[in-house]
């Protein structure tokens, strides 16, 4: 990822790119909500336990990705083996999700 670029990314450029990503994600989130609601309606007896190796992993990654952004900007690591992990938002989110390390 450390490719040499001729110019630095400015705050305005970063903000504009993140706004575009937000709009794309909102469209995806709307589809995820609709698909999940349809699945629940068609399978009311299903719990996350039966989906733990597939859907639960995807949901955890969505949450952890959200925590990673402010951690990265604030200079914290989003992984347990990383620098300053103990103060990171990722650590708090991982704990809330039930991860033990």
Residues 66 and 99 in one domain: yes
Instruction: Give residue 94's domain range.
Output: 47-101
Quote the DSSP letter at residue 79. Answer: S
Neighbour tally for 88: CB within 10 Å: 24
In a domain, 4, yes or no: no
37 & 78 share domain: no
27 and 56, same domain (yes or no): no
How far is CA 67 from each of CA 38, 70, 72, 97, rounded to the nearest angstrom?
28, 6, 9, 12
d(C-alpha 74, C-alpha 57), whole Å: 26
Structural domain total, the chain: 2
Is residue 59 domain-resident? yes
Query: To the nearest whole percent, how much of the chain has pLDDT over 90?
Result: 57
**Residues 36, 65 share a domain:** no
pLDDT tens digits, residue range 39-98? 999 999 888 888 888 888 899 999 999 999 999 999 987 778 877 888 899 899 999 998
Q: Which two tokens stand for residue 33?
A: 């909500």
């Amino acid at each position: 990822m450390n490719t040499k670029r001729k110019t630095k990314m400015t705050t305005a450029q970063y903000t504009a790119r993140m706004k575009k990503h937000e709009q794309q994600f909102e469209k995806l989130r709307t589809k995820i909500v609709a698909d999940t609601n349809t699945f629940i309606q068609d399978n009311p007896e299903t719990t996350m336990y039966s989906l733990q190796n597939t859907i639960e992993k995807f949901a955890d990654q969505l949450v952890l990705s959200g925590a990673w952004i402010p951690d990265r900007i604030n200079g914290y690591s989003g992984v347990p083996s990383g620098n300053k992990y103990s103060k990171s938002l990722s650590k708090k989110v991982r704990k809330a999700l039930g991860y033990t390390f």
